[in-house]
Amino acid sequence: MKLSVISPTYNESENVGLLIAELEKILAGTDYEILISDDNSPDLTWARVEEIGRRNPRVRVLRRTSNRGLGPSVVDGFNAASGEAVACIDADMQHDPAVLPRMLNELMNGSNLVVATRYMPGGGTANWGIIRRFGSWGCTKLAQWLLGVKLRDPMSGYFMMRRDDFLKVRDLEIAAQMHPCNLGEIPYTFGPRALGESKLSKKIVFAYLSQLWRLCRKVRFRRPDSSAG
C-alpha cells in the first residue's frame, strides 16, 4: 500500500530537512511520497523542499498562496496525494516519524483511521509545564464530552487514513464526524519542538474552542451550521 505523508508547514525551514531525512530513513523499502503543504512561508521553507525534491523525486512541495491555515493545508495535501494511505505529521519533529510503519500496519489490518496517541499506555508528552498539560487535558475532555468522540487523543494531529475514505467527503471535519467504525490507536511520545517557533497561540486555542462549540451544536442539537456559506 503506497503511503503519502503530508506535513503542513509555516516557517519550518530549519526543521523540514530534518523531518524529510528521518522519513527517508524510516520509510526506506516502503512505497511512499512526502508532500509538504507550505503556506508560502517567508523563511522559504518551500524553496528548501524544492531543493530536496531535486535529489529525491518522492519529495514534493505544495506552495499555497491563499486560504492560509493548518487544516486547509492538510486537506489540500490529501487531495494532491497519490498514495492509498495518507498520513498527517507535524514538521517540527514533535510527532515521532518512527511510529509511521506501525500506523500503516494497523491501517492495512483493517482500521479506517489510525491516530498516534499520547494518552494511552506507552504514550506521553515530554517537557510540558503544568499549564500546557492542564490545557491539553481540558481540551481533550471537552472534545470527548461535547462530541462523544471515542478517541483517547482527539487533538493528536498525527493520524493516518485511507485516501478513498477521505475522498468521499474531502473534508477532515466531516470525516471525523462519520465516526469511523475501525479506529486504531498507536502510542507515541510528543517530543520537544526541534527548532524554530511555535504557532500555537491564544488565538489558535480560541479558534479551536469556537469550532468545538459549532460542531457540538451541529452534532447534539442538529442545528444548521450558520457559518457555512
Ligand X SMILES: Nc1nc2c(ncn2[C@@H]2O[C@H](COP(=O)(O)OP(=O)(O)OP(=O)(O)O)[C@@H](O)[C@H]2O)c(=O)[nH]1
Q: What residues make contact with ligand X under the rule CB under 6 A?
A: 7-10, 12, 37-39, 68-70, 73, 90-92, 94, 193, 198-200
Stretch that binds Mg ion, among 53-61, 69-77, 160-168, 191-199 (CB under 5 A): 191-199
Q: How far apart are the first and last CA of the chain?
A: 37
Interaction residues for Mg ion, span 205-224 (CB under 5 A) = none
Q: At 29, phi and psi to the nearest 5?
A: 90, -10
92 contributes a contact to Mg ion by CB under 5 A: yes
* Cell 516502503 belongs to residue: 30
Selection from Mg ion, ligand X, none that 12 binds (CB < 5 to 8 A by kind) is ligand X
Q: Is 114 exposed, middle or buried (0-12, 13-18, 19+ CB in 10 A)?
A: buried
Stretch that binds Mg ion, among 34-42, 84-92, 149-157, 168-176 (CB under 5 A): 84-92
Smallest gap from residue 28 Cβ to Mg ion (A) = 25
Strand ranges, E, within the chain: 3-9, 32-38, 59-63, 85-88, 113-117, 124-125, 159-162, 183-187, 189-190
Task: Name which position in 11, 41, 94, 156 contacts Mg ion (CB under 5 A).
Answer: 94
Tell me which residues touch Mg ion (CB under 5 A).
Answer: 90, 92, 94, 193
